[in-house]
Amino acid sequence: MHLEKRRRHRTHARPRPPATAFDPAGPLTWTIPDGRSFTLDFSRPLVMGVLNVTPDSFSDGGRWLDPESAVAHAKRLAAEGADVIDIGAETTRPGSEPTSEEEEWRRLLPVLEALRRLPGCPPVSIDTYRFPTAVRSVVAGAAMLNDIYAGRKDKRIFRVAADAGVPIVLMHMLGEPRTMQVEPRYEDVVTEVREFLWERALDAERHGIPRSRIILDPGLGFGKTADHNLTLLQRLPEVFPPGYRAMMALSRKAFLGHVLGGAPPEERDLATAVASAVSVMKGARLVRVHNVKATVEALKVAEAVMRGRLAPAP
């Protein structure tokens, strides 16, 4: 019964033709409610920099909790080449308890307000599954949403993304952060993750979000063993439903520590950069990381290898 409850998210979506004709490797341009416009060129590898304004995240909890230090770190991520800044105000580490809605917004608001005034700031993504936080965030200048529940916690978040015209990341997770690492099991992790992502993407489209603004994330580390994560990475071209933009968020994840023989989170940046480069070479176009500089350099090498030549001089 316990396992059955934890596998209810499984679906049996079947391949369907794209609802919208667009190239998932092409540019994504959008305008947010405050009038600012952004473009992400998915023809090249893109980097989302992580900014955790939390006291207890697994690898950098407490470092950027103060708004002034958070804004300074956001500036540093942008200077190192981040194409998106993803702000999270609630930890989602395995075994974590939820943060209150009021506390989440208290942590987010001053940082959002400061980055909105920052000239040339990359688009800011908000890592939340809460409808009220999503509404407040887009009003305050957020340009993107990142929902670890993929709309399962509150489908109204789809309406926020559709009405505001912002992209949304939909992630696979087995269970919830508090319980997701308690004996996660799959019959076929690749098939089950792919079908889940397809079903959630189709649901988002039914709520008015165009396919071009949907980004899918297989959720490495969220309800998966180290072997599950490595299988997903090995078979990545099979994981993503065709016709959608693809993101990988594997920064400093525990499975990389296992590969390295027990390395702690702060010693996993090189492994993250390598795994991110592998992800891009297998089809992902956006990677979410803590160490932007190392990953940007790794992706430049991966892109040159895929191209088979140096990029033309600017």
275 located within any domain: no
In a domain, 269, yes or no: no
pTM: 0.90
Cβ-based neighbour number of residue 165 at 10 Å: 15
Q: Using only C-alpha atoms, what is the Rg of the chain?
A: 18
Positions in the chain short of pLDDT 50: 1-13, 15, 17-20
At 151, phi and psi to the nearest 5? 85, 0
Interhelix angle 226-234/269-281, nearest 10 degrees: 40
CATH of the domain at 48: 3.20.20.20
Residue 293 C-alpha from the chain's centroid? 18
Q: Work out how many domains the chain is built from and give that number.
A: 1
State phi, psi for 118 to the nearest 5 degrees: -85, 115
Query: What pLDDT score does 17 carry?
Result: 44
DSSP 100: P
Residue given tokens 């340009």 in the structure block: 143
In a domain, 270, yes or no: no
Task: Express each pLDDT in 289-314 by its tens digit.
Answer: 999 999 999 999 999 999 999 877 76
Residue 258 falls within a domain, yes or no? Answer: no
Query: Domain of 134?
Result: 44-243
Q: Which of 258, 246, 256, 236 is nearest to 284 (CA)?
A: 246
Which residues carry out catalysis? Answer: 253, 288
CA distance linking residue 156 with residue 131, whole number of Å: 6
Cα 258 from Cα 251, distance rounded (Å)? 14
Is residue 305 assigned to a domain? no
Sign for the CA dihedral angle at 231, 178, 90, 144 comes to positive
Specify the pLDDT at position 180: 78
CA-closest candidate to residue 88, choices 142, 37, 35: 142
The pLDDT, as a whole number, for residue 59 is 55
